A = this chain, B = another copy of it.
Amino acid sequence: MRSNNPPRGLLVLVVGPSGAGKDTLMERALTDYACTRHVILARRIITRPAGAGGENHQAMSDADFDAALDAGEFLIHWRAHGLRYALPAAIRDDLARGRTVLANVSRKVIGAIAELGLPVAVIEVTAAREVRAQRLAMRGRETASDILGRLETLAWQPPQGVDHYCIDNGADLDTGIERFLIALARACGGDTPIRHLPIDSGPRLIGFLSLRHPLHDAIQALPTPRVEVDILGRPLVLEVQWVDDDHWLAPDAIGLARATLARLGLIAGMSLQLQPAPPPAGAPALRRKLRGQSLNEDEFFGVVHDIADNRFDEASTGAFLASLANHLDDDEIIALTRARARIAQTLHWDRPMVVDKHSIGGLPGSRITLIVIPIVAAHGLTIPKASSRAITSPAGTADTMALFANVELGPDDVRRVVNGANGCIAWNGHLSHTPFDDMTNAIVRPLDLDSARMSVASILSKKLAAGVTHLVVDLPTGPQAKLPTREKAQELKRLMESVGAALGIRVLARITDGTQPVGRGIGPNLEARDVLQVLNNDPDAPQDLRDKALDFAGALLDWAPDVRPGEGRARAKDLLASGAAKARFERIIDLQGRRGLPAAPGPFHADIVAPASGRIDHIDIWRLNSIARLTGAPGDTLAGLDLAARKGERVDIGQPLYRLYASSQGALDRVVAFARTGNAFELKRE
């Protein structure tokens, strides 16, 4: 059990001799297991230069260390192996917010920390001496004599009254992480062990409990039987199904389906703290919204917070989303955006200006982000870009960037890359965690409930949480785009800009042509080729892609304090022409982690040609999207579609409209046959 009452956060002190693998365990547990999403790794201050390998510590000189100590910036400090270490005082704030904080400390300071009156537990990580010796030798940070010193271990006793867990990390890493998570869950108060039940409950979050579980009567007395579980400090509500067979599930355990374990990032053997789920505090506000009343920020916060914690049943959530789609006035959009930002993962930047670029999407190809970010970053603006992978399109920005560099960045990685290059192009999967979307996407999408007004709240809440101050939004408009008419685009532009202003974000929404792809390539590899052509000032580069990228980079640069308004585009052009943008792209790639150069597309290819002569009157972008997906993109990064003609151009019979690339003759044959039943191009005879 947590050592204070009421439990408010927990400081987990991870101790153990050098080479026991503490840092690796903590990092991997926090990166790879979603159950640790609420857990914070305390960043230590060390008088060791940054970038000297090992953990991502905050480097400080001895003098600065003394000054910070005097200023009360440390929770605790100590010396070891000739270096000075400290934990930041800000940990107190994290604990007050209920967070679980992991800290790698020396055993000798545990007593002193315990005396601070904070809720503390200790996890001791050990490994046999020879295992540690080998690990220390491999990391190559210390000299042989340093290693000998670090191999010494001290017999010690944890202070009285402090929970203490000991795990052996001498086996393989996965075993070590499992043991670490099991100990961490117990330290966080878990007393009900998780068992895997061979039932697939689908996307629903169900906890199976025995009819003889001690909480049975209390849970059954609820209007709907739901249990609140504490997952390493994060509360979450599970629907309960009762099991009436002790061979299936012991009365003291909680059963979870494999899909639930995977979704929550839990492993069998970890334990949870259970209590009957109280009725959602946001219920009265939700009912008010259903009756057509407007909600303020705190009311929205209550509802979206409860939805994120799974406190509402699906029918209530569905009813709430329908009422949002039905009516949401401008003030409510602002309130809802703020409320959603409060439960999203936040990033803080100590910079006066953080810019970003967003597209509402819907056009295949059109990969300007990989050009805009290097230009803007090369000028010196901060642009930490998080992009999505494809869901229904042939490629997302993150899919294309992944050909050049690692895109699986966590918040610390983003900070590091941006510190080194002013910008990054990361996958948003580990960054903009939005628990509200997690719970509602499965409802919103099939019911088509995502109104333009709701999307404003969704987009701007993520930007607000990410610390963005200036934002350019791309609104592709056309009959087959998300915005079918100029009127709808104008209304969304007005809303984005005015809601942004109310939130303190300068927003410029640009209505763009949404009737055909921008650039030639569709699919990761071909889009990457287009991007490189533009960055390399290749005379054969697609001019429409270059122009659109310069427009958006220019709009962002117009906001730069050292650029006169209206001259941003010229500055962007210079940065592109001079090679500065390309050089910045390379630096971003290096900092994110370079991948090998993309291979050539295909290898199998075939041209789809004009069946008659005429002028290209219309390109069916939905059909084009389907054809491009059928090549195998984005899963097959070398597959795709390369446009050879554009809207308005005249083509002769037999002239190629586009080339299809696939990884096998069979795949190519399938997509060619499909394209022949409708090639997405409408020609007008002249």
Contact = CB atoms under 8 A, between A and B. Distances in A.
Nearest to A443: B315
Nearest to A244: B198
Given A319-B443, A447-B319, A245 B198 contact: yes
Interface in A313-330: 313-323, 325-327
B325 A326 contact: no
A245 B257 CA distance: 13
7 contacts: A198-B245, A200-B243, A290-B322, A290-B447, A314-B315, A315-B443, A326-B327
Given A202-B224, A314-B313, A326-B292, A448 B241 contact: no
Contact of A318 (B211, B287, B292, B318): B318
B317 A241 contact: no
A352 interface: no
A165 interface: no
Interface residues of A, number: 43
B201 A241 contact: yes
A253 to B, nearest CB: 15
Interface of A: 198-202, 208, 211, 223-225, 239-245, 248, 286-287, 290-292, 313-323, 325-327, 442-443, 446-449
SS of A interface (majority): mixed
Copies of this chain, whole number:
2
A325 B447 CA distance: 18
A324 to B, nearest CB: 10
Contacts of A325: 290-291
A449 B322 CA distance: 13
A208 B449 CA distance: 30
Contacts of A202: 224-225, 239-241
A198 B248 contact: yes
B446 A223 contact: yes
Contacts of A320: 322
Contacts of A449: 290, 319
A291 B326 CA distance: 7
A310 to B, nearest CB: 13
A199 B449 CA distance: 34
A147 B199 CA distance: 57
A440 to B, nearest CB: 9
Nearest to A444: B315
A245 B198 CA distance: 6
Contacts of A243: 198-200
A318 B320 CA distance: 8
Given A248-B248, A319-B447, 12 more contacts: A199-B199, A200-B244, A202-B225, A290-B325, A290-B326, A291-B325, A291-B448, A313-B314, A315-B317, A319-B449, A320-B322, A323-B326
A224 B320 CA distance: 21
B198 A287 contact: no
* Best-buried of A199, A287, A320, A448 by chain B (most CB within 10 Å): A199
A213 to B, nearest CB: 12
A263 B315 CA distance: 20
A2 B662 CA distance: 48
A602 to B, nearest CB: 30
Given A287-B448, A447-B290, A244 B322 contact: no
A287 B319 contact: no
